[in-house]
Amino acid sequence: MDTDPAGARPRSSPPRIVLGVAGGIAAYKACEVLRGLTESGADVTVVPTAAALKFVGAATWSALSGRPVATDVWQDAHRVPHVRLGQLADCIVVAPATADLIARATHGIADDLLTNILLTARCPVLLAPAMHTEMWEHPATRRNVETLRERGILVLEPASGRLTGADSGPGRLPEPAEIVAAVQSVLRRGPAAARDLTGLSVVISAGGTQEPWDPVRFIGNRSSGRQGVELARTAIARGARVTLVAAHMDVEPPAGARVVRVQTAEELRGAMAVESEGADVIVMAAAVADFRPAEAGEHKVKRGEIGPEVTLPLVQNADILAELVATRGGAERPLIVGFAAETGDHGRDVLTLAREKLDRKGCDLLVVNDVSAGQVFGRPDNEVTILVRSGAQTDVARADKATVADSVWDAVVAALS
């Protein structure tokens, strides 16, 4: 059987993950992270800090993981656990990562088993912060997080919501399922994969806009938001700071993204204008309605008020992608990626129409979907062609949307370099 480059184990073996648990009230949620990782087939060793064990006992971690819990450097000392666990892991994830744990990791303090493992790790490391808002926003914590990110460590953005007691705000542990998805995204790229978007600010639009013509009805484009979410998730796994401008989506945003919610094309237009300032990459993956009702009624229009036929005057929405290109002018940044959902017409095929759109819009890359018969919307997979303004073309065979997203980012990295 083939082995990995270090010869340590067969390539077909399950991924080995160290799940670190720091001492915060969110430690109980790490049980769900552990369950999600083990159910995905991973071999997980839990390393709780002494403070974490005051929230969740070792017996719980052992029962859920099916493995002994590693708690201090003197346990099984002949195996040198503070070195071996870090050396053999395919990924290390700490959830929750408290302000204290983040500070110790930043400054290389190794005063327990978990921080020793973080120092010996040569695999991807993911931290999922959880703490009170004041602690997350403190300049010391912000600086520590930036330092860790500069070193290639993936530090997710915490969620915003209910904390302990009556407190609420940013600092909540991301949902366990999203932490598991982030780990899977890291593992899919392999332990040696470069964090080639580290330090870059990325703005992604996703989902479909909805243009109301009364308080109940709207017109819009079909979009689940799945591809945009996977673009955000994979960019985070590759080290980027991601802002997701989210219209209507059937899926939840990924852990680690800063989310700006919008509904209409005009709201998306305004959000993209604001969020793209200072961005390195802009990806317009949202399905933006080309038209909106000229007037939106203040009350629901009754059938009896409009008769058997309806005439709905429409006006064009702004071309947001073209505006972003025009705003950039002759500057090299931000690099701008557009999406084109095409079906072809009687005289031109999908790629012909897409090349015309690339020339007309002026963006750097255009990701082309053939959406004939609705074959993309809501599906977990996709098949695209990536057109580059220089004339290059990459055909991405049908694959899950996370793999497609990585292909898009590969093209972006090539264009940036």
Angle value at C-alpha 276, between 273 and 278, nearest 5 degrees: 130
Backbone angles phi, psi at 229, to 5 degrees: -65, -40
Catalytic positions: 221
Q: Is the dihedral of CA 292, 297, 302, 304 positive or negative?
A: negative
Paired strand residues for 129: 97
Contact yes or no for 282/337 (Cβ under 8 A)? yes
* Helix axes of 350-361 and 320-328: crossing angle, nearest 10 degrees: 40
Backbone angles phi, psi at 155, to 5 degrees: -110, 110
